């Protein structure tokens, strides 16, 4: 990494470092209220979720409609372990990661050998079952009453004779979220450029060609699904310790839809695009949440806008605002052309000769 010399940095790197510094000092600007800080943390949380989900539709080209199931599993793993055993959050993160991955493997291994449509619908059914389980197994989750009073995380150095910091207010969560986003982005970048990532892209671009290169489709897809599920669960574990209250209603299909919409908007497979999608949609969602009651409409109507965004994006910019060339080429290839394309014109002139 020895290129921190300012002369060696490309323009993109400079922008990124600038952004990072801006984000780090952002809470100290006077105009940032606690509410705004809360929204920014929400944006970071959705960035983690969107980056995690991105692996499945973006890197592998499969539709996952049940992402919120893993998010819920992670949240309840974190909530219940804190509630019953008082485990430290730093222990819970790897546990939630593993629990998410296990469920990803359990669900993915039998279903990923099927075609994409079936996979989409199975993941959807799975997330609905998770919500039903959380609602009905009252002995474990307290059901619709919700799980209140989850202790906030703390940094405990008393073992080494140090002090113990409890997380109070939004500020510590803000920095924790930044660290988690940075780790997620770093992992995604490394995966993208690894053997694993290249195998995924091969699968996304052409399954038949990938198989003939000796890529084991099922293995790679299950790994992708498990990693994606694990990041969803980590996002959920953060969510549980942050809002300190969980109820099954928080994990309905809407959440999956919102995260999917971020990916579609930002650009499937593009790490930066997906993060920008999260920024845009969480902000839009919050603005609409304020505006809609003024118009006398229920808050959930904001999903009208998200539905419309999805349809319009698929129609006009199917690869997203920041498209990846491979995805863009694939999505464009099939579009029905209204105008007479250059190909037909060429054919005509060819026939005249």
CB-facing half-sphere around the CA of 14: CA atoms within 13 A:
7
User: Among residue numbers 27 through 66, which ones bind another protein (CB under 8 A)?
Assistant: 57, 61-63, 65
Q: How many CB atoms lie within 10 A of CB 105?
A: 17
Q: Which CB, 117 or 290, lies closer to another protein? A: 117
Using CB under 8 A as the binding rule, whether residue 253 contacts another protein is answered as yes
Please state the closest distance from residue 297 (CB atom) to another protein, in A: 6
Q: Per-residue contact track with another protein, 314 to 343, x per CB under 8 A?
A: xx--x-----------xx--xxx-------
* 315, two tokens: 């129609």
Name which of 187 and 215 has its Cβ closer to another protein: 215
Which one of 142, 204, 221, 241 is in contact with another protein (CB under 8 A)? Answer: 204
* Count of residues that bind another protein according to CB under 8 A: 51
Q: Is 285 in the site for another protein (CB under 8 A)?
A: no
Cβ-based nearer residue to another protein, 81 or 134: 134
User: Nearer Cβ to another protein, position 128 or 286?
Assistant: 128
Q: Which of residues 5-24 bind another protein (CB under 8 A)?
A: none
Give the residue among 126, 127, 143 at the shortest CA–CA distance from 135: 143
Give the dihedral sign, CA 313/316/318/319: negative
Strands (E), the chain: 154-156, 164-166
Site for another protein in 107-166 (CB under 8 A): 110-111, 114-118, 120-122, 124-126, 128-129, 132, 135-136
Near another protein by CB under 8 A, which window of 23-31, 192-200, 205-213, 233-241? 205-213
Does the protein bind another protein through residue 272 (CB under 8 A)?
no
Secondary structure string (H, E, C) spanning 59-110: HHCCCCCCHHHHHHHHHHHHHHHHHHHCCCHHHHHHHHHHHHHHHHHHHHHH
204 in Cβ contact with 269 (< 8 Å): yes
Q: Determine if 104 is a binding residue for another protein (CB under 8 A).
A: no
What DSSP state is assigned to residue 166? E
CB of 322 closer than 8 Å to CB of 272:
yes
Q: What's the sign of the alpha-carbon dihedral 8, 192, 120, 147?
A: negative
Binding site for another protein (CB under 8 A): 57, 61-63, 65, 110-111, 114-118, 120-122, 124-126, 128-129, 132, 135-136, 204, 206-208, 253, 257, 260, 264, 297-298, 300-301, 303-304, 306-311, 314-315, 318, 330-331, 334-336
């Amino acid at each position: 990494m020895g290129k921190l010399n300012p002369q060696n940095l490309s323009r993109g790197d400079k922008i990124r470092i600038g952004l990072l510094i801006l984000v780090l000092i952002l809470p100290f600007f006077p105009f940032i209220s606690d509410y705004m800080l809360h929204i920014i943390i929400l944006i970071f949380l959705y960035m983690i979720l969107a980056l995690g989900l991105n692996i499945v539709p973006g890197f592998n080209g499969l539709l996952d409609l049940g992402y919120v199931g893993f998010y819920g599993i992670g949240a309840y793993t974190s909530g219940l372990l804190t509630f019953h055993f008082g485990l430290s959050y730093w222990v819970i993160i790897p546990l939630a990661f593993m629990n998410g991955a296990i469920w990803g493997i359990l669900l993915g291994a039998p279903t990923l050998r099927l075609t994409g449509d079936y996979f989409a619908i199975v993941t959807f059914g799975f997330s609905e079952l998770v919500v039903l389980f959380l609602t009905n197994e009252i002995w474990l989750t307290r059901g619709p009453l919700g799980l209140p009073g989850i202790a906030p995380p703390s940094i405990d150095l008393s073992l080494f004779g140090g002090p113990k910091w409890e997380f109070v207010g939004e500020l510590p969560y803000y920095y924790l979220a930044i660290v988690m986003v940075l780790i997620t982005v770093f992992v995604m970048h490394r995966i993208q450029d690894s053997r694993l990532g290249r195998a995924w892209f091969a699968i996304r671009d052409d399954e038949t060609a990938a198989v003939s290169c000796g890529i084991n489709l099922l293995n790679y897809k299950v790994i992708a699904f498990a990693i994606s599920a694990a990041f969803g669960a980590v996002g959920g574990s953060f969510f549980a310790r942050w809002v300190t209250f969980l109820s099954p209603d928080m994990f309905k299909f809407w959440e999956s839809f919102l995260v999917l919409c971020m990916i579609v908007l930002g650009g499937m497979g593009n790490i930066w695009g997906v993060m920008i999608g999260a920024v845009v949609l969480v902000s839009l969602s919050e603005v609409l949440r304020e505006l809609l009651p003024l118009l006398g409409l229920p808050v959930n109507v904001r999903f009208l806008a998200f539905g419309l965004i999805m349809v319009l994006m698929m129609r006009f910019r199917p690869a997203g605002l920041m498209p990846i060339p491979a995805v863009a080429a694939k999505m464009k290839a099939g579009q029905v052309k209204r105008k007479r394309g250059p190909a037909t014109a060429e054919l005509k002139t060819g026939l005249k000769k």
